[in-house]
Structure 1
Amino acid sequence: MSGDLSLTALPAHILDRADVQAALRLHDFGQVFRLTRQWGGISFLRIADACDIKPERVGKLARGEGAITTYEKIAYIADALGIPGHMIGMAPRPWEQASTPRSPSRPELISRLSTVAIADVPESDDLGTVDLEGDEVQRRRFLAASIGIATAAAVIPGGSAAGRRIGHRQVEHLQRRTARLRTLDDVLGGADTRHIYRAELGSTLSLLRNASYTETTGRQLLSLVAEQAQQAGWAAFDAGRQAEASALYEKAFQAATEAGDAALAGNSLAFLAYQQVSTGTSGVATAAASCETASDDAPATVRALLFERRAWAHAKAGQAKETEQALGQAEEALAGSGSDRPGPDWSSWVDTRELQIMKGRCWTELHRPLRAVPALEAALADFADAHARDKSLYLTWLAHAYLDAGETEQSATVITEAMDLSAGIGSVRPQQRANEFLLRLQPHRTIAPVAELLDRAAL
């Protein structure tokens, strides 16, 4: 959001109303929307358009059904409707300070442990940039009040780390905390987790700037920054915020490189490659660089993960031979993991089932259904519905593979299951994948189950 007041800002006579102010203090935006229409004549459609909310949800909120709870969405609505920060318990919004000159931010590599700096990372594709350092305290207070999760700086044994010395024990505590928070991604989408991961990243950056520590501890903190930036980038990617994701991945690579952590640096490039592939760009070169960066002495699960991502990039590029080779390298890495040193927590989810899923996805992209279907069916046979986002995504590839095999009715059944699972998940990807598949089904509308599915989707 720029420093200019929004063109959809609420008029003063609305903001001055006692009932509107009371609703804002309670973050009851449904009541705000209702009063805005009643006393300002502003339609729900216009509110929906300004606040990037579906019109039907605006109506439900106005009837008291549901609530707006995330920091990002509340900040977005405040900017869209010109609501001053103090009215909703936030710091002044950027447009309130438009008359105050602001020095432009400049991206800097974390080049010295004693003078750490990091580039501003875009908060979303639409809202411009937000300074992690300047917004950090407000974000922490908001999160603590709304979801009860303390931030990293607040949970270090011994209290706040600002101005005091920290060591290996405190960093290990933060690493364990990061690992626990990562499990949220198993059941929640990026729209639900990105604000949490960004807050953690901001807190760790604060430690780098304000605490004192040895060079060894500083490098451990830099590795933690890289790890947290990757997780925050993944959540942004899952929420459809591509500019934010790529900026975070780049910062993760910079921090990992400065820390001398080759495995994390390679994983940062693998994330970038995955994003490039997902946005229609070839990620082959970046994926290849990720494997070379991590080197052959990386833990088995790390090597398997990077080779999987490389296989995916080759598959999306239509390179069957290279895909098979990378999948084979991933399999070899996992096969030798028994005698290998333990891998980091961020790669612990890579196992033989994950490899089977990636094989199925790759062969689906290469239109090899005879290879894809058995791999995906076997991997998904006991895949719990609790992991709804991931399962719904993987089912979309199975649906494509069935359609390639000429099993149209079965493909419609599978995509229906995927759509049911993904309903209400804070991730844009399952719906995007389902929409792509529905386009493929259009020529088969004469088949009754397909016609029923397409009619349902149209509603």
Structure 2
Amino acid sequence: MEDQPRLLPSTPGNDLGAQLRAARLNAGHSLAAMAALTHFSKPYLGHIETGRRLATPDVIDRYEQVLGVPIGVPLDPVRVTHEWLLNQPPLTERLHAGRRIGADTVRALEDRVIELRHLDDTVGSRHLLPLVRAELVDAAQLAREGVYPARLGVRLLTAVGELSQLGGWIASDAGHYRHAQQLYLSGVTAAQDAGDRALGAQLLSSLAYQITNIGSREDGLLIARSAGTAADDATPVVRALLLERLAWAAARCHDADTTRRALDAVDGAYEQRSPGIAEPEWVYWLDRNEIDVMAARCHIQLGTPAAAEPLLRRALSGYDHSHARETALYQTWLAEGHARTGNIDAARDTLERIDTTAVDEGSVRLHRRITAVEHLIGRRHGGDTEAADLPPK
């Protein structure tokens, strides 16, 4: 139906607002009383409880402290993945009065998403995450309340899905894992309703990457495999990205055969790229250097660190060092590779040369990597040769 408003379906973020409201009412507090107890404004909490704004981790924590109950247990990501595999619904249509949205507005939003995505290369999580959150709230509100033709609705929902993925990635870098998972899962809903299966796979594989790193590795591998089912129909670079994350999940589970097959498939997919094949903008960053880094990390994870060093050195030599966080992360892998081959002096020297600016800018991910490699070097220097399973990128 043309020129009818579309509302976003219920998402984990909106459900979380309802959970906050239910917990408050069960405790017998008015919204005004809750505002006084949490030191947030009443209108702000009202917008969160009704799903008009995202519930940030600090709001959830404050509610839990005041009410003494856990709130916002994330949806089961494995279940959501299975539903994604089975369901490919059309764009959700709901009627609601709202402002008319034109192509210029949608194009401006799409340009802003690209701008924010590229800022993640050089701007720290502490500064970028609030910007992405604010844009996501505004985009979701446009999709929920605006009046627009169906073709623009698809583009709006796609922008919401892309912002959810970007927000989840940055939140995960900052150590806000629960919030990242909520963003990823709500993004899957938007991508489904936009009919963008590749974007849904990107969101699920991003979630698999986080779960593999800080949660159940088996669940991470399962989700990465499921996301990879979209690879057959995806463009070459998207296939390479999905397969990379499958390779890493398999390596974390010490499944060498699956890892090697996936890495071979990454190379094959990447070689099929062509100027005549339009790739989604969100894979702009995946190049041969990034592929070599992932292969090196898998070698280290599987216990063959000697094979990692030449890959990492080549990748770092051609890397854009204005991307301080990624450069530092990749140097931690080079340091770990040196340590695991017994070259402690080289490991120390590599670690000492790392620019830690990104840690100061909010990258918990980089801080964990540096700390873990320091501990590994200390153990190896002390004669402890037991293989340590360090926190990954």
- TM-score w.r.t. length of structure 1: 0.63
Give the distance between the partners of 1:444 and 1:336, measured in 2 at CA: 42
Does structure 1 residue 177 correspond to structure 2 residue 120? no
Residue 94 of structure 1 and its aligned partner are, at CA, apart by 6.4
Residue 191 of structure 1 and its aligned partner are, at CA, apart by 1.7
Give the distance between the partners of 1:98 and 1:225, measured in 2 at CA: 26
Does structure 1 residue 258 correspond to structure 2 residue 193? yes
Verify the 8 A CA contact 2:168 2:184 in the aligned structure 1: yes
Residue 166 of structure 1 and its aligned partner are, at CA, apart by 2.2
Give the distance between the partners of 2:354 and 2:41, measured in 1 at CA: 46
Structure 1 match to 2:164 = 229
Structure 1 match to 2:260 = 324
User: Is there any run of 5+ residues in structure 2 with no aligned partner, and where?
Assistant: 1-34, 65-96, 384-393
Q: 1:391 aligns with which of 327, 331, 355?
A: 327
Structure 2 match to 1:95 = 38
Give the distance between the partners of 2:240 and 2:195, measured in 1 at CA: 21
Give the distance between the partners of 1:373 and 1:276, measured in 2 at CA: 27
Q: 1:194 aligns with which of 123, 129, 139?
A: 129
Does structure 1 residue 368 correspond to structure 2 residue 304? yes
Verify the 8 A CA contact 1:308 1:355 in the aligned structure 2: yes
Q: Secondary structure at the match of 1:400?
A: helix
Structure 2 match to 1:123 = 57
Structure 1 match to 2:369 = 433
- The change in CA–CA distance for 1:375 and 1:217 in structure 2 (over 3 A counts) is same
Give the distance between the partners of 2:282 and 2:52, measured in 1 at CA: 22
Q: Secondary structure at the match of 1:337?
A: coil
Q: Secondary structure at the match of 2:148?
A: coil
Structure 1 match to 2:221 = 284
Give the distance between the partners of 2:359 and 2:246, measured in 1 at CA: 30
Give the distance between the partners of 1:397 and 1:229, measured in 2 at CA: 28
Residue type at the aligned position of 2:57: E
- Greater shift, 334-343 or 245-254, is seen at 334-343
Residue type at the aligned position of 1:383: Y
Verify the 8 A CA contact 2:205 2:242 in the aligned structure 1: yes
* Larger radius of gyration between Structure 1 and Structure 2: 1
Residue 164 of structure 1 and its aligned partner are, at CA, apart by 3.4
Residue type at the aligned position of 1:387: H
Q: Secondary structure at the match of 2:360?
A: coil
Residue 314 of structure 1 and its aligned partner are, at CA, apart by 0.6
Please list the CA deviations of residues 77-131 of structure 1 after superposition, one character each: whole Å capped at 9, or x if unmatched.
Answer: xxxxxxxxxxxxxxx666358999x889889xxxxxxxxx78954435973579x
Residue type at the aligned position of 1:247: Q
Residue 352 of structure 1 and its aligned partner are, at CA, apart by 1.1
Residue type at the aligned position of 2:122: V
Give the distance between the partners of 1:216 and 1:262, measured in 2 at CA: 17
- The change in CA–CA distance for 1:378 and 1:182 in structure 2 (over 3 A counts) is same
- The change in CA–CA distance for 1:429 and 1:96 in structure 2 (over 3 A counts) is closer
Structure 1 match to 2:342 = 406
Percentage of pairs with the same residue: 32
Residue 365 of structure 1 and its aligned partner are, at CA, apart by 1.1
Give the distance between the partners of 2:281 and 2:123, measured in 1 at CA: 18
Structure 2 match to 1:343 = 279
Verify the 8 A CA contact 1:372 1:401 in the aligned structure 2: yes
- Greater shift, 344-353 or 333-342, is seen at 333-342
Please list the CA deviations of residues 367-423 of structure 1 after superposition, one character each: whole Å capped at 9, or x if unmatched.
Answer: 211211111111011323321111111111111111111111101111112254645
Structure 2 match to 1:442 = 378
Query: How many aligned positions are there?
Result: 314
Verify the 8 A CA contact 1:188 1:426 in the aligned structure 2: no
- The change in CA–CA distance for 1:212 and 1:321 in structure 2 (over 3 A counts) is same
Verify the 8 A CA contact 1:123 1:129 in the aligned structure 2: no
Give the distance between the partners of 2:377 and 2:59, measured in 1 at CA: 31
Question: How large is the Cα RMSD of the aligned pairs?
Answer: 2.8
Residue type at the aligned position of 1:418: I
- The change in CA–CA distance for 1:99 and 1:167 in structure 2 (over 3 A counts) is closer
Give the distance between the partners of 1:337 and 1:129, measured in 2 at CA: 49
User: Is there any run of 5+ residues in structure 1 with no aligned partner, and where?
Assistant: 1-91, 108-116, 131-161, 448-459
Q: 2:245 aligns with which of 309, 317, 323?
A: 309
- The change in CA–CA distance for 1:320 and 1:446 in structure 2 (over 3 A counts) is closer
Residue 208 of structure 1 and its aligned partner are, at CA, apart by 1.3
Residue type at the aligned position of 1:267: Q
Residue 326 of structure 1 and its aligned partner are, at CA, apart by 0.9
Q: Secondary structure at the match of 1:223?
A: helix
Does structure 1 residue 207 correspond to structure 2 residue 142? yes
Residue 309 of structure 1 and its aligned partner are, at CA, apart by 0.8
Please list the CA deviations of residues 311-345 of structure 1 after superposition, one character each: whole Å capped at 9, or x if unmatched.
Answer: 11011111111111111111111101016511111
- TM-score w.r.t. length of structure 2: 0.73
